[in-house]
Amino acid sequence: MMNATRRGLLCVLLLWGAVFASPSQVGVCGIPQAAQERKQIQSKQGFPGLYLTGCSEPRCFNGGTCRQALYSSEFVCQCPEGFVGKRCEIDASATCYKDKGVTYRGTWSTVESGAECANWNSSGLASKPYSGRRPDAIKLGLGNHNYCRNPDQDSKPWCYVFKAGKYISEFCSTPACSKKDDGDCYFGKGLAYRGTRSLTTSGASCLPWNSMILIGKVYTAWKTNAQALGLGKHNHCRNPDGDTKPWCHVLKDRQLTWEYCDLPQCDTCGLRQYRQPQFRIKGGLFADITSHPWQAAIFAKHRRSPGERFLCGGILISSCWVLSAAHCFQERFPPHHLKVVLGRTYRLVPGEEEQVFEVEKYIVHKEFDDDIYDNDIALLQLKSDSLSCAQESDSVRTVCLPDADLQLPDWTECELSGYGKHEASSPFYSERLKEAHVRLYPSRRCTSQYLFNRTVTNNMLCAGDTRSGGNQDNLHDACQGDSGGPLVCMKDNHMTLVGIISWGLGCGQKDVPGVYTKVTNYLDWIRDNTRP
């Protein structure tokens, strides 16, 4: 007859080894067979044959399903795809870190010097402020591994390395994620979001949509149209009910509830529904406003007569701010004499989705030179009774501002748009929005030598139609009336503002580029003047 200690040990071993046992065998460790069968029937989360029950408290991270052995404190976590570790705390699929990397849980383990990270559980780290032996180690991502982490909210992930007989900290060589990672954000209300974010705004891990805890809830993996709603055997954030943003079920203080997810809205700047132009004209192509939804039309009231006239183009860069060219405002109009129209395809015909704004104020660069058009940039603040002005739609959307270090290759093809004249000799502006395709000139070709000795400064860039065989009748270019409009180029699948239409010598002259205000030189000026 075995003693109680040995019998208890055998019971634990039998419980954990039950996966190899026949379900029809007689009760184990005094547990009646019927009771075992009930537990087995209740456990349908991928543990066939195991006599387990749900954990008494959440122990698994990243949506892992926790199962606890009967009459034991031992537990196991069934991890969602891509996560590993005893508590699903390691994201094996993470290839980069976001922001400062505080939430990075990947497997990178090399520092910038090339050395290998030390295990956070190493005895030599016992006296260090951060080690795998801290009570909150698991929450900080520390444990029995040597992966890079940022437990102290430093500037990027780091780890300890053993050098010259002691442990020192060094930053890791972990790659930083792209700032424009549309897979980790949602558009609109997030109804179509199918990403893998699984944390809520409080930091809680989402429950899998197929968790047995959710039986009786409306939105689960068992719903008839679950697949269409994005629900399934995962714990990723979703918005199946048309709420304001993606959410998920969570356990808080052992109570089942739900929370919105910690998921940002995608930056929609520079996105558009491009329509291939159908009509070619002198200087460019007729276009629809949905192809250039950041295009603005600026009108000015006549000083001594009723009515208004078209003044210049503009560029929507935020809900309440429009960029334009400084030379458009040399008449020093009172702000209330100006009007900005967004979402209009035909210059003088109201559009179905257009938005019209009065101007609160406008700011002309104080160093604008009206002789050579240096610093040819201006800002217009739209007037509104609320904190927002322009409402996003297919016809109205902001353009992306460039990063300060943006350098596109020479001869990159870009686009400009506007309501300007078809050619220099035309007495009329275009009745419809036009677009033109031009290429960025190398800086060595953007000099006075190529522009009939006109002054060209470092605040300017050049672009023109470089097609071979082109002539003055079919070359694309900006023309009078296009001033203040955008020169945009594709960057990371978003149209990015590179230049503001400023000046040129004629329109569509062969081998003579148009000149644009270089936007990267004015990012600080823009931010300083648009700051609330």
Annotated catalytic residues are: 327, 376, 483
Alpha carbon distance 254, 193 (integer Å): 28
Q: How far is CA 215 from CA 219, 226, 243, 258, 500, in A?
A: 9, 14, 21, 14, 58
Q: Can you tell me the distance from the alpha carbon of 293 to that of 400, in angstroms, rounded to the nearest whole number?
A: 12
- Per residue, the 3-state secondary structure of 449-463, as one string, reads HHCCCCCCCCCEEEE
Please choose, from the candidates 293, 259, 258, 257, the residue with its C-alpha nearest in 3D space to the C-alpha of residue 275: 293
Phi, psi of 53 (to 5 degrees): -135, 165
Q: What CA–CA distance (Å, rounded) separates 420 from 433?
A: 8
Cβ neighbours for 485, distance < 8 A, ≥ 6 positions apart: 295, 312, 313, 314, 315, 416, 417, 418, 420, 478, 500, 501
Beta bridge partners of 111: 172
What DSSP state is assigned to residue 374?
B
Q: What share of residues in the chain are helix, strand, coil (percent, to 5)? A: 15, 25, 60
DSSP single-letter state for residue 212: G
Question: Residue 417: phi, psi to the nearest 5?
Answer: -145, 160
- What are the C-alpha distances in Å from 70 to residues 52, 74, 237, 249, 452? 6, 9, 32, 26, 88
d(CA 145, CA 120): 6
H or E, element range at 169: strand 166-171
Pull the structure tokens for residue 488.
Answer: 């945009």
| Cα of 322 vs its chain's centroid, Å | 22
Q: What is the DSSP letter of 432?
A: B
Give Cβ neighbours of residue 6 (< 8 Å, ≥ 6 apart). none
